[in-house]
Amino acid sequence: MFLKIFLGTYIGQSFLFLIPLSIFFYNYLNKDRDTILIIEDNGQRFIYQNKNIKILFVEKDIEKVIFHLSPPLYDKRSTWLHWDDYFYSEIITNKGVFKIGCLVISNLEDYIKQDKIERRKVYFPLIK
């Protein structure tokens, strides 16, 4: 009886918690493994670098930044599941479009003007 309760609890926990958390972590890790974002001069200059390219752009080059947020982050309420904390940003500049996960930088909005920020609610924000 104890073994059945333990296995039922473990399988339920895996389905609701461990499996989505693992999917998010490995998706963000694989997409951002070689990504570096350097912010200089308190948000005036940005250097985006991954294994293929290295691009320097300034704050004036940024057209908009789209934050793809889970529903609790979008609504600014508390999160109950750990995988609700994952989100990614899409920086649209005149030099290209860059996707950066929250494992690289989680406070990007501190360096971007509010009129250039757009928020989108996504139920499962995986980087594509």
Q: Looking at residue 19, what is its pLDDT?
A: 83
**Domain coordinates in residue numbering, the chain:** 2-33+61-121
> In whole angstroms, what is the distance from residue 62 CA to residue 7 CA?
51
Q: For all residues of the chain together, what is the average pLDDT?
A: 88
Order of strands, sheet of 36-40, starting from the edge strand that comes earlier in the sequence:
36-40, 45-49, 54-58
Higher-confidence residue: 13 or 105?
105
Does 83 score more than 80 pLDDT? no
**What is the chain's alpha carbon radius of gyration, rounded to the nearest angstrom?**
18
For residue 9, what pLDDT band results from cuts at 50, 70 and 90? confident
